[in-house]
Amino acid sequence: MQRNNSKKAVLPVLAAVIGLGTVMSGCGGAAESPSAPSDSPQAQTDKFAEKMKITMFNQGTFNAAAPIPSREVDIPRQMLEKAVNIDLQMTVPQGGQATTKLNTLIAGGDIPDLIFMKSRSDLAQYYDQGILADLTPYLDQFPELKKRWTKEAWEAMQYKGKTIAVPGYDNVSGIIGSLFIRNDWLKKLNLKVPTTPDELFAVMKAFTEQDPDGNGKNDTYGFIGGMNKEGVLQTYGFDMLMWMFGVNPPGAIDVKDNKPVLLFTDPKMKEALSYIQKMMEAKVVDPDWVTMNDSALLDQKLYKGKVGFMVRDARRLEPEAQEKMKEVGGEVPEWIIIPPMKGPYGDQILERKGFQSNSWAISVKADKAKIIRILSMLEYYYTDKEAYPHFAYGLKGTHWDLVDGKPKTKTLTKEVKDKYIWVDHYRMPRRGDDSEYFNFANPKTAEAFTNNQKYVAPTLPGAFLTPDPNDSLAAERVRFINESLVKFMSGKEPLSNWDNYIKTLETKFELPKYKDIVTKQFKEQGVIK
């Protein structure tokens, strides 16, 4: 296997892809020499007598920086090759260079046989360009592969009435956006865990004004959030506050009464912004929020322990993060993870279930025999029960062993983690609810992960939308919406100008035309009739 380092001229850069936060977790302990598992019936190659070369463009790996090992030590590769008698040639592109590298291959007529697609937008665009195959005629031959994924996941693979890809990996819900609160501060100030927006505001105000850490200084805040470098509020905390009112920033489009509902113009969004503006005016938000454009910066706020409520990954309860708290803040605060607030309209949403945007697509150049061979490999990769731990957890004897007949992950030293980091290229079959994969060391993390699932709402239909080439104002419209929401919630723009915001969207940014585009795509997808 080799990396593609070509720097030829490339096709036009694709539209911005949907963000996806893949979730990783280290696990395991060391052994001397990993070995491939014994043959399973599904892994026999009798029906594939002739060896076939398959080229794979794996931009879905959980660690693009990891090296690609030689075949001799690459047990997962050996398993895939033996299962369906193939010579697997995998290219792993470096992070931000993936699209350029793929386009370079395509421009040179060297389309990989199997391509990991990061977003539905990419998938649709490459299909429209005649690069990807229609898999509809073949999938019924692979019942186990079809059963592996939910109805919703397969619906995400459909485009213009055809199934053009196989799902890539499970999204993980209920862990990244956990609600952390200082329970020791609640106890000291004789406060209860908040359950409504009003109760939450009262708690944040008390955390800011009543010296909960007892140091006699005015240096604590009720909340910290942020936004990414593009000014998008999602996944940085403020979006959770909006979900209390049942709305969220761009991309969040619902359907009611058989019509699209743009949540960024919904009157409930105005209420959500009013709530956040009230927080700003009361100075319960750490003023550093304007610089919080990276997850690591928010982690530092968690470690310092000067903010009483924030949205972070549940794994910050794990020992490694707890040590960071002691190192950075001098103590390990009593952080607990709580359910989301129940909003004025009955909404109690932690997050929306991740849309199955990532996928495996097959080149249009692949003939019937190659498509069947690739789908056979994917069926083995994702559904063979004996093979599962070898892909999901890593190398047997190094990352996991059988204990009482069940796979049990080990604890790895840093040296062993680094030595075998390349197994991350193969972890995609891991299930999103597999607690053994995550290998939680703190029972409270596992408890939070389980409890959070209750508040993961269904995916909104807006996730099906793909960029329309005729919508020339798309990028400017999204930028205007993001900037306007930030101005409203921060108080830089009074909410009395809300109607002007809507009018500007309708006139300058052609919102009616955009609604027509949304309606058309929803009809094509069967979301509305």
Domain presence at residue 455:
no
Residue 354 confidence (pLDDT): 86
461: closest CA among 243, 251, 162?
251
Give the tens place of pLDDT for each residue, 340-366.
Answer: 999 999 999 999 888 999 999 999 999
433 and 313 within one domain? no
More confident residue, 33 or 365: 365
Cα→Cα distances 132→109, 162, 373, 448, Å:
13, 12, 16, 41
**Mean pLDDT score, 367-378:** 97
Contact 303/329 with Cβ under 8 angstroms? Answer: yes
515 and 479 within one domain? yes
- For residue 417, how many other CB atoms are within 10 A of its CB? 16
How many domains in the chain? Answer: 3
Give the tens place of pLDDT for each residue, 152-165.
Answer: 999 999 999 999 99
Measured between alpha carbons, how far is 375 from 369 in angstroms, rounded to an integer?
10
Going along 258-405, which residue ranges are E strands?
Answer: 259-262, 309-312, 335-338, 351-352, 359-362, 400-403
Residue 3 confidence (pLDDT): 42
Alpha helices by DSSP H, listed for 73-138, are: 75-84, 98-107, 120-128
Measured between alpha carbons, how far is 95 from 131 in angstroms, rounded to an integer?
22
Percent of the chain with pLDDT over 90: 81
Using CA of residue 429, residue 433, residue 436, residue 437, what is the dihedral sign?
positive
Position of tokens 């001098």?
Answer: 330
243 and 196 within one domain? yes
Domain presence at residue 10:
no
Maximum alpha-carbon separation in the chain = 77
Domain presence at residue 4:
no
419 and 493 within one domain? no
Domain termination site, one of 304, 321, 352: 352
279 and 163 within one domain? no
**Could you tell me the two tokens for 153?**
């996941």
pLDDT confidence bin for 433, thresholds 50/70/90: confident
Domain termination site, one of 410, 440, 470: 440
Domain presence at residue 38:
no
Measured between alpha carbons, how far is 324 from 76 in angstroms, rounded to an integer?
34
pLDDT confidence bin for 23, thresholds 50/70/90: very low
Contact 167/359 with Cβ under 8 angstroms? Answer: yes
Position of tokens 């909104």?
Answer: 460
Contact 481/272 with Cβ under 8 angstroms? Answer: no
pLDDT(41) > 50? no
Cα→Cα distances 98→3, 61, 102, 105, Å:
11, 11, 6, 11
Give the tens place of pLDDT for each residue, 226-283.
Answer: 998 888 887 789 999 999 999 987 668 999 999 999 999 999 999 999 999 999 999 9
Domain termination site, one of 409, 440, 471: 440
398 and 344 within one domain? no
**Mean pLDDT score, 124-136:** 97
389 and 272 within one domain? no
414 and 308 within one domain? no
Contact 316/180 with Cβ under 8 angstroms? Answer: yes
Measured between alpha carbons, how far is 276 from 270 in angstroms, rounded to an integer?
10
Q: C-alpha angle with apex 361: 83 to 395, nearest 5 degrees?
A: 40
Query: Any idea how long the chain is?
Result: 529
495 and 371 within one domain? no
Domain presence at residue 18:
no
Contact 370/113 with Cβ under 8 angstroms? Answer: yes
Cα→Cα distances 377→60, 111, 143, 185, Å:
17, 19, 13, 53
415 and 296 within one domain? no
pTM metric for this prediction: 0.79
**Full residue range of the structural domain in which residue 60 is found:** 44-171+356-440
Kindly report the CATH number assigned to the domain that includes residue 434: 3.40.190.10
Domain presence at residue 21:
no
**Could you tell me the two tokens for 85?**
């008698």
Position of tokens 């592996």?
Answer: 148
Measured between alpha carbons, how far is 238 from 45 in angstroms, rounded to an integer?
53
Exposed / middle / buried, residue 432 (Cβ in 10 Å: 0-12, 13-18, 19+): middle
pLDDT(44) > 80? no
Domain presence at residue 480:
yes
Measured between alpha carbons, how far is 380 from 445 in angstroms, rounded to an integer?
32
471 and 322 within one domain? no
345 and 207 within one domain? yes
pLDDT(149) > 70? yes
Domain presence at residue 52:
yes
